[in-house]
Amino acid sequence: MIYPKIDPRVFVKNRQRFSKQLKPNSIAIFNSNDVMPTSADGTHPFIQQTDIFYLSGIDQEETVLVICPNTPDKKQKEILFIKETNEQIATWEGQKHTQAEARDISGIQKVHWIAELNAILRPLIIESENIYLNTNEHLRAPDIVETRDMRFLKWCRQTFPLHHYERVAPIMNNLRAVKSPAEIELIKTACGITEKAFRRLLGFMRPGVWEYEVEAEIVHEFMRNRSRGAAYETIVASGIDACTLHYVKNDKQCRKGDLVLIDFGAEFANYAADVTRTVPVNGKFSKRQKDVYNAVLKIQKAAIQMLKPGNTLEKYQNAVAKLMQAELIRLGVLKKADVKKQPKDAPLYKKFFPHGTSHHLGLDVHDYGDRYRKFEPGMVFTCEPGIYIRDEAIGVRIENDILISPRGPVDLTKTIPREAEEIEELMNK
């Protein structure tokens, strides 16, 4: 791992909080992600399953975490199983964690090789009444590839059919929604790296550059600052493509007079930043572009102030929708008479602002969190209103990362330039 070592007390505390949520006489089992194949003998870079990282800090494939709080054997309350290295693996892939290193990273004292899993796990399961297993229950998760967790679930149900099975996901959704101070610092670091990349871009952007060149500048700055790279697929969308929400081709040339929407964020120690900025390719907004840009900025500034304890996503989104509707009327995109006649379940503003304003941010870009839960201190949300006018080839989104605190919203990305005049000034230095 290229990021500095995280204090193992972070993971110890996470496990303590998790264990308190289990029913008596329970065992919980977490699996790492698979190394995903490409074709022939190729593989994608390994990305750890975020729940097992949250609870152990182990960033390595073929890892299993077992938590069994009520076992009479105190040494077996937390057990970590890791991949045993050998000379061949070390030659081809590099050294894997030793047991001592795994103990140091995780704070778990009982560490075994993965080959010992079945022999140790079986008696622990037999002594338990409830088995907590993990599945990906994110509302937008693509259910295409069978995960190690799902394969393990099938094996477990076949081998131990009479146990009571429980879901880990609701517990993790509850715990991970509120970030610890250590987690917030890691997100702030990711945001700081993202700022460096954006400031680099302001000096690089000019008519004639290609979107993929812009992405290359971003990746360069991320990786030279101890990031693995982008926390998600980078969007560099110029001209009319800025109106495509998940445009990732990044294969067009940036032309004079166009806007370019850049949605990007660094990963740091598996934590994500998520930032969007929209800039004029030639360093100067047209009057119309600036009017649309400032409308989005006005909405964002007001929306950020609503990210405070006690609010909910539904109330928040409804309030932002009213602001958006008013700005679209002011810009002449919507007509007041048409808005008065619009169906309640199909508001006209959605043609020009079809996505939500905020989502949880953390170990995952679209991080865990109950959409009906009231906002609490320690939650981190994006704030990303946008206006997309396809007929004018204008797409503007501005996105910051906001920590909810008892004293009001804290913008973790406040130093990343977003005022139109500041962007123009920095681009024309």
The residue type of 56 is: S
Q: Do residues 275 and 418 both lie within one domain? A: yes
The reply to whether 61 belongs to the active site is: no
The reply to whether 384 belongs to the active site is: yes
Count up the domains in the chain and report the number: 2
Q: Do residues 403 and 343 both lie within one domain? A: yes
Q: 37 in a domain, yes or no? A: yes
Please pick, among 176, 228, 277, 397, the residue that the annotation labels catalytic: 397
pTM: 0.96
The reply to whether 263 belongs to the active site is: yes
pLDDT of residue 16: 98
Question: Residue 118 corresponds to which tokens in the numbers above?
Answer: 């079945």
The reply to whether 355 belongs to the active site is: yes
Q: 3 in a domain, yes or no? A: no
Q: Do residues 245 and 330 both lie within one domain? A: yes
pLDDT of residue 62: 96
pLDDT of residue 197: 98
Question: Residue 318 corresponds to which tokens in the numbers above?
Answer: 């409804």
The reply to whether 359 belongs to the active site is: yes
Domain range for residue 25?
A: 9-176
Q: Do residues 187 and 172 both lie within one domain? A: no
Across the chain, which has 429 residues, the per-10-residue mean pLDDT values are 94 98 98 94 94 98 97 95 87 89 98 96 97 89 86 97 97 97 98 98 97 98 97 98 97 98 98 98 98 98 98 97 98 96 94 97 96 97 98 98 97 98 97
pLDDT of residue 116: 97
Q: Give CA separation, 390 vs 205, 244, 245, 387, 396, in Å.
A: 23, 9, 12, 10, 11
* C-beta of residue 154 within 8 angstroms of C-beta of residue 124: no
Q: Which residue has the tokens 């729940």?
A: 51
**Domain with 219 in it: what CATH number?**
3.90.230.10
Please pick, among 355, 371, 390, 422, the residue that the annotation labels catalytic: 355
Residues β-bridged to residue 210: 253
The reply to whether 399 belongs to the active site is: yes
Residues β-bridged to residue 132: 28, 166
Distance of CA 415 to the CA centre of its chain: 20
Last residue of a domain, one of 114, 145, 176: 176
* C-beta of residue 384 within 8 angstroms of C-beta of residue 188: no
Q: 66 in a domain, yes or no? A: yes
The reply to whether 41 belongs to the active site is: yes
**Of 372, 383, 389, 396, which Cα lies nearest the Cα of 174?**
372
Please pick, among 263, 267, 364, 367, the residue that the annotation labels catalytic: 263
Q: Do residues 357 and 382 both lie within one domain? A: yes
* C-beta of residue 117 within 8 angstroms of C-beta of residue 81: yes
Please pick, among 267, 274, 327, 364, the residue that the annotation labels catalytic: 274
How far is it, in rounded angstroms, from Cα 211 to Cα 234? 10
